[in-house]
Amino acid sequence: MSQESIRNYLASVESRLAADGCGPRWEDWAGAPVLVGRRADFRMRWAATNLHLFTVAAAVPEITVPVIDTFTTQVLTYAKKNKGGLPVGMQTGVACFPVLVSDRIDPAAMAWAEEKQRNRFACFARPVVVDSAQGYVGMYRGKPAIGRAYAGHLIEKGVRYFQPQG
């Protein structure tokens, strides 16, 4: 699959984020273009907390476990720094979709993304690995013990934002 198809996939994610009120924009992260979208949602059933959801997507030449792991850490750090408002944990949480797109995927990286949600204090990440050659999106779709209240919301957003067209 071509670079054009990877660009088209990222453009479709950008339009889905825009349609969902995430205000997507492109940023430069160390010379690489990165798509960033964010929204905040409040639910009484979440113990009256505000959840800040960050989606950060980029194309890379190849996705391996170290690449998606490092990107996930960078996105969590970025989200905590940029969420604003009350400190994390004080009636506010942060969730992230670190999204990498490539036509070269190490199967171990796909398994890593699908295995579990990655947690830090009041911060959750659901890494997304997109295999543009196969049209396959790998991400965790479960309901973990930590952050369980948000799981349905994150599963729904993941399907809305990342499922391939067609």
Confidence of residue 86 (pLDDT cuts 50, 70, 90): low
At residue 87, the pLDDT reads: 58
Q: What is the pLDDT of residue 48?
A: 66
Give the number of other CB atoms < 10 A from CB of residue 2.
Answer: 10
Average pLDDT, the chain: 88
Q: Residue 5: its pLDDT value, please?
A: 86
Residue 122 has pLDDT above 80, yes or no: no
pTM for the model: 0.90
pLDDT at residue number 3: 84
- What is d(CA 74, CA 40) in angstroms, rounded to the nearest whole number? 20
Q: What is the pLDDT of residues 36-56, one digit of tens each?
A: 999 988 776 666 677 889 999
Q: Bridge-partner residues for 99, per DSSP?
A: 57, 128
125, 72 Cβ separation under 8 angstroms: yes
* Predicted pLDDT at 89: 56
Q: At what angle do helices 148-162 and 3-19 cross, to 10 degrees?
A: 130
